[in-house]
Structure 1
Amino acid sequence: MNAIIHSGHSDLEGLQYSTCTLPGAEQGHVVIELSAAGLNHRDLFIMSDRTPQDTPLIPGSDGAGIVVEVGEGVHHISAGDEVIIHPTLGWEHTADVPVVPGIVGGPSDGTLAQYIALPASNVLPKPTHLSWIEAGVLSLSALTAYRALFTRGGLRAGEHLLIPGIGGGVATYALLMAVAAGAKVTVTSRSEVKRAEALRLGAYQALDSHANWKSTMNSHEPIDIILDSIGQVMFPKYEEIIRPGGRIVMFGASSGDDLHLPIRSIFFPQISLTGTSMGSREEFVQMLEWVEKHQIHPVVDSIYSLRDTVQAFERMKNGEQFGNIAIQVK
């Protein structure tokens, strides 16, 4: 089969369009012929950490396609079923949080290939209102956004949510979900084009990332919850606009792993700092039901062929995307 393989170098230099052995369905597994897949920033992080000594890896965590082979012991899935991939491995119940979730596309081979073999528990029916491309880019980012907003953040209708750095997959899904849930959403971006697109999708206001947010925002509308993927560099701004008793839900650290802040700025205003990462199978099922109930469609930034995956990753690495970058596999 054709696949994108990462080997021999770190970062994008290690990517190559090549052929590899077609996987088979072991006991409890199924083989899926992929129609579409999606890219995530996690793929870039995985590839940057890999060394020339690491075994070849097929990246990619998002995908949707048709089941072509079913292993022994699998009774709820049949060949010909249209399915979407749940990317978190071995995390069934929401309460059983792993130290680091296992994810399709690292350590196991991922979705940037014509076929993939997965445990049957990681395969669910494709949402009927989504196209193949839309289903192919849904899984990881939408699951991360759903858990961050609702399981960990406890977002409620009428609350004011801040999403700094709008444009990536998780942030875009969070905007769509929060608006559908009845929340008021403020976003930030350095890009005027991205700010305008966020407003078109239902954001209440869109601020320049470098502006003085405190002077721009209405003082009678403080932020209830911040969905943070940036980290240290933004915390001084957060302190100025979050209400006492507000929540900061952290799912990334694009400005670095170290966080330095006055502890009194947390306990005097009683701010809650909450971490989150990926999501369980239970939450994936809930997310799919929620997306279908609200008829949410992913924002597809662009579509590339499997052969042109390197160019797709370059677009992501350069921060040019708004929404999800899709790979047309079939």
Structure 2
Amino acid sequence: MKAVVHNGKSGLRGLVYQDIPSQNPGYGEVKVKLKTAGLNHRDLFLMKNKTEQDPEFILGSDGAGMIEAVGEGVNDLAVHTEVVILPTLNWEGTDDVPPVPNILGGPSNGTLAEYVIIPSKNAVKKPSYLSWEEAGVLPLSALTAYRALFTKAQLKKSEHILIPGIGSGVATYALLMAKAIGATVSVTSRSQEKRKRAIQLGADHAFDSYSNWSEHLQGQKADVILDSIGPALFSEYFDHVKPNGRIVSFGASSGDNLSFPLRSLFFPQINILGTSMGSSDEFHEMLHFMEKYKLRPVLDRTYPIEQAYEAYTRMQEGSQFGNIGITID
């Protein structure tokens, strides 16, 4: 079968589209013929840190397709069932958080291929209202956004959430989900075009990430700040989150090391919460939430699988708004 493999060379230099042997599902597994897949920033981080001593693997955590074959012990799924893939492995209950989530697509083989073999519990029936392209980009970003907003931040109707760096898949899902429950949403971006897109999707306020936030917010502090930026903006958050407010971090695009006055944390009793990915229980809750509100992924562009290098280049440049999809048929 054809697949997008990373061969160990650091970064995009290691991407190869090649033939690899196809396999059959084992006990409790299913083989999915993929129709679409999606890219995540996680893929770029994995590629950046790989060396030539590391084994090669198939990239991709997101995908949707049809079951091609079932292994022994699988009784609840049949061949030709349309499924969307749950990318987190062996994380069932919401509170049973693993030390590091095990995710499809590194080190295990992922979804940028004609076929993928996964545990049967990770093949979930595809919501019928979503197109294949929409279903293929849904899983990891939507799951991450859902856990961040509702499990960790406990976001409620009429609360105010601030999302710095709008444009990524997680951030756009968070915007849609927050508006669906009636929250007020403010976003930032250095890109005027991304700010315009966010307003079109329902954002109440959109302003430059490096402008005067107080001027734009006019005293409207946030109950929740959803952070994926890290040190470049983190110290700014304390001026704009309410006492007893929540800062939820799911990424660190500007680095890992933070510095801020501790008094800005404990005097106003700010809650800093970390989150990453999500459980099987939350995945099913997220699908129900998406279907209840008929939310659809924001598709940036879709590329054929043989153009994966170009697709990742667009993501690396930070050009996209929403999800980048891959078609495999």
Say yes or no: TM over 0.5: yes
Displacement after TM superposition at 1:241 (Å)? 1.1
Please list the CA deviations of residues 5-60 of structure 1 after superposition, one character each: whole Å capped at 9, or x if unmatched. Answer: 10041100000110101121100000000000000000000111111111111010
Task: Specify the alignment match of 1:228 in structure 2.
Answer: 227
Whole-Å separation in 1 of the counterparts to 2:87 and 2:8:
25
Deviations 1:117-147, CA, capped at 9 Å, x for gaps: 0000111000111000000000000000000
Once the two structures are superposed, the pairs formed by residues 80-99 of structure 1 within 5 Å of their partners are 80-99=80-99
CA-CA distance at 1:236 after TM superposition: 2.5
Return the letter of the residue paired with 1:23.
Answer: Q
Residue in 1 that maps onto 2:17: 17
Aligned residue in 1 for 2:36: 36
The amino acid of 1:296's aligned partner reads: L
Q: Quick one: percent identity of the two aligned structures?
A: 55
| CA–CA distance in structure 2, aligned partners of residues 8 and 163 of structure 1 | 34
Q: Which amino acid aligns with 2:148?
A: A
What secondary structure is seen at the aligned counterpart in 1 of 2:188? strand
Q: Which residue of structure 2 aligns with residue 247 of structure 1?
A: 246
Q: Which residue of 2 aligns with 1:166?
A: 166
Matched, 1:302 2:290: no
Structure 1 residue matching 2:238: 3-state secondary structure: helix
Matched with 1:71 is: 71
Residue identity in the other structure for 2:252: A
Query: Is the Cα contact below 8 Å between 2:133 and 2:327 reproduced in 1?
Result: yes
Aligned to 2:132: 132
CA distance in 2, matches of 1:276, 1:12: 27
Q: Distance in 2 between matches of 1:241 and 1:184?
A: 14
2:235–2:259 contact (8 Å) kept in structure 1: no
Residue 218 of structure 1: how far off its partner (Å): 1.8
Which whole-Å CA distance do the structure 1 matches of 2:323 and 2:210 have between them? 24
Equivalent in the alignment of 1:265: 264
What do residues 77-114 of structure 1 show as CA deviations (whole Å, max 9, x unaligned)?
Answer: 00010000000010011111001000000110000000
Q: Aligned AA for 2:236?
A: K
Letter in 2 for 1:116: V
Q: SS in structure 1 opposite 2:57?
A: coil
- Matched with 1:324 is 323
Counterpart of 1:244, as a letter, is: P
Give the Cα separation in 2 of the matches to 1:298 and 1:23.
31
**Within 2, Cα distance between the matches of 1:40 and 1:181?**
26
* Amino acid of the structure 2 residue aligned with 1:59: L
Superposition CA RMSD, Å? 0.6
Equivalent position SS for 2:303: strand
Q: Give the distance between the partners of 2:10 and 2:124, measured in 1 at CA.
A: 33
Tell me the distance in 2 between the aligned counterparts of 1:63 and 1:8: 23
**TM-score, structure 1 length as denominator?**
0.99
Residues in 2 aligned to 1:227 and 1:72: alpha-carbon distance in whole angstroms: 43
- The residue number in structure 1 matching 2:123 is 123
Q: Deviations over 1:150-208 (max 9, x none)?
A: 00010000000000000010001000100001100000000000000000000001010
Indicate the SS of the match to 2:218.
Answer: coil
Distance across 2 between alignment mates of 1:225 and 1:242: 7
Give the SS at the match of 2:13: helix
Q: What CA deviation, in whole Å up to 9, does each residue of 1:266-324 have, x standing for no partner? A: 11001000000000000000000110011000000001000000000000000000000
Secondary structure of 1:249 counterpart: strand
Give me the whole-angstrom Cα distance separating, in 2, the residues matched to 1:169 and 1:122.
21
Size of the aligned set, in residue pairs, is 329
Q: Structure 2 CA distance, aligned partners of 1:259 and 1:91?
A: 29
The answer for the alignment partner of 1:51 in structure 2 is 51
Report matched runs for 1:141-160 at 5 Å: 141-160=141-160
Query: Which blocks of at least 5 consecutive residues in structure 1 are unaligned?
Result: none
Matched ranges for 1:183-222 at <5 A: 183-219=183-219, 221-222=220-221
Divergent runs of 4+, >4 A: none
1:251: how far off?
Answer: 0.4
Matched, 1:275 2:270: no
